[in-house]
C-alpha cells in the first residue's frame, strides 16, 4: 500500500491517537540501516519533482508540520525537505503571535506565507495553533476557537481552488519518547539552545493537547487537504514516511517540463554561425 494512503486520516473518521503506535516501523524497514538507501532515493526524487513543479508553474505545494514538542518538525525539515532547492522553497515558523498579528483575525498572518504557483511552502507549526495552544491554555473562549475548524477548512479550500496542494503531517511521538528527547537535549551541548522552561511545563498538558489534536485531525482532514499521522518515535522512519508521501503525491500530478518558448532550431543556427565566425 502506498504511504500516501497508509497514514492518511480518512475524512469523517474519528481519530484516537492512543490506537496509533508511534513506535511503528514498516515491516520492510526494520532499521535505519535498511532504510538509508530508500531515504536517499526519495530525497533525490523530491529534488527532481520540485524542479518539475517550478518549471511547469501550474501548481504549488503547502506542507504543514505539527506535533508535540520534540516531535521532529525541525528534523524533518533539515533531513528530508532540506533536499529541495531553497530558491523555490520557503519555511515559515508560526510561534506566539506578535502584537500586530494578534490585532488581526487568526488567519491574517498565514495567508501571505502561502506558496505561489511553482513554489513550495513549509509551515513549522501553522494555522492549527489557533485550535491547539489557544484551546489548551484558554487563551480565547470555546465559543471562539470551536468555530475555527470550519474557517480553517474554508481557507484550505480556497487555496486548493487556486491550485495549491496541501499535505499536513502530525508527527506522532509517545510521552516516553518525548521525555527521552528532552534528556538528550540536556546532555548534548549542541541541542541545549533548544531547551526552554516552557517545554517541561507543557508536558503537564499532554492529555489536553492530545484531545485538541484529535479534534483537529478528525475535523480538518479532507479530500483536498488531508492529514497524515506519522509514527515518529523512530526519526529515520519519520523521515522515510514524510519523504515518501510527498514524492507519491507529486508523482500523481504527472508533472512535465513545459515546451520551449523559443525557436530552438533558430538559436542552434545562430550558435553555430557565431562559432564559425570565432573560428
| Residue spans per domain, the chain | 3-278
Predicted local confidence at residue 190, as pLDDT: 76
- Angle (CA) 77-154-68 rounded to 5° is 35
**Alpha-helix runs per DSSP H in the chain:** 3-6, 32-56, 73-79, 99-102, 133-136, 142-145, 148-161, 175-187, 197-202, 206-219, 235-252, 264-278
117: helix, coil or strand? coil
pLDDT in tens, the chain (279 residues): 899 999 999 999 999 999 999 999 987 666 788 888 999 999 999 999 999 999 999 999 999 999 999 999 999 999 888 899 999 999 999 999 999 999 999 999 999 999 999 999 999 999 999 999 999 999 999 999 999 999 999 999 999 999 999 999 999 999 999 999 998 888 888 777 777 777 778 999 999 999 999 999 999 999 999 999 999 999 999 999 999 999 999 999 999 998 877 777 777 887 777 677 765
Architecture, CATH, for domain 3-278: 3-Layer(aba) Sandwich (3.40)
Strand ranges of the sheet holding 89-93, from the earlier edge strand across to the other edge: 89-93, 120-124, 60-67, 164-172, 227-231
pTM, to two decimals: 0.93
Predicted local confidence at residue 118, as pLDDT: 98
**Residue 167 phi/psi, 5° resolution?**
-125, 125
Predicted local confidence at residue 260, as pLDDT: 79
Predicted local confidence at residue 201, as pLDDT: 86
Predicted local confidence at residue 244, as pLDDT: 96
- Angle (CA) 62-63-65 rounded to 5° is 145
14: helix, coil or strand? coil
Amino acid at each position: 500500500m502506498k504511504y500516501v494512503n497508509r497514514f492518511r486520516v480518512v475524512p469523517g473518521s474519528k481519530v484516537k491517537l492512543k490506537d496509533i503506535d508511534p513506535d511503528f516501523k514498516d515491516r520492510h524497514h526494520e532499521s535505519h540501516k535498511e532504510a538509508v538507501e530508500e531515504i536517499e532515493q526519495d530525497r533525490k526524487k523530491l529534488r527532481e519533482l520540485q524542479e518539475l513543479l517550478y518549471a511547469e508553474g501550474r501548481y504549488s505545494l503547502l506542507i504543514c508540520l505539527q506535533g508535540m514538542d520534540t516531535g521532529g518538525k525541525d528534523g524533518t525539515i533539515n533531513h528530508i525537505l532540506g533536499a529541495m532547492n531553497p530558491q523555490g522553497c520557503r519555511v515559515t515558523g508560526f510561534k506566539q503571535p506578535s502584537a500586530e498579528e494578534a490585532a488581526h483575525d487568526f488567519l491574517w498572518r498565514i495567508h501571505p506565507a502561502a506558496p505561489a504557483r511553482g513554489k513550495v511552502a513549509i509551515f513549522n507549526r501553522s494555522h492549527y495553533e489557533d485550535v491547539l495552544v489557544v484551546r489548551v491554555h484558554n487563551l480565547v473562549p470555546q465559543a471562539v476557537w470551536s468555530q475555527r475548524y470550519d474557517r480553517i477548512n474554508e481557507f484550505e479550500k480556497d487555496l486548493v481552488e487556486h491550485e495549491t496542494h496541501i499535505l499536513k503531517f502530525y508527527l506522532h511521538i509517545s510521552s516516553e519518547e518525548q521525555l527521552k528527547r528532552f534528556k538528550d537535549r540536556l546532555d548534548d551541548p549542541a541541542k541545549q539552545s533548544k531547551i526552554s522552561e516552557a517545554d517541561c511545563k507543557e508536558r503537564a498538558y499532554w492529555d489536553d493537547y492530545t484531545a485538541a489534536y484529535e479534534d483537529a485531525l478528525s475535523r480538518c482532514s479532507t479530500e483536498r487537504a488531508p492529514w497524515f499521522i506519522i509514527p515518529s518515535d523512530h526519526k529515520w522512519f519519520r523521515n522515510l514516511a514524510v519523504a515518501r508521501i510527498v514524492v507519491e503525491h507529486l508523482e500523481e500530478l504527472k508533472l512535465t517540463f513545459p515546451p520551449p518558448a523559443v525557436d530552438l532550431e533558430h538559436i542552434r543556427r545562430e550558435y553555430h554561425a557565431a562559432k564559425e565566425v570565432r573560428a
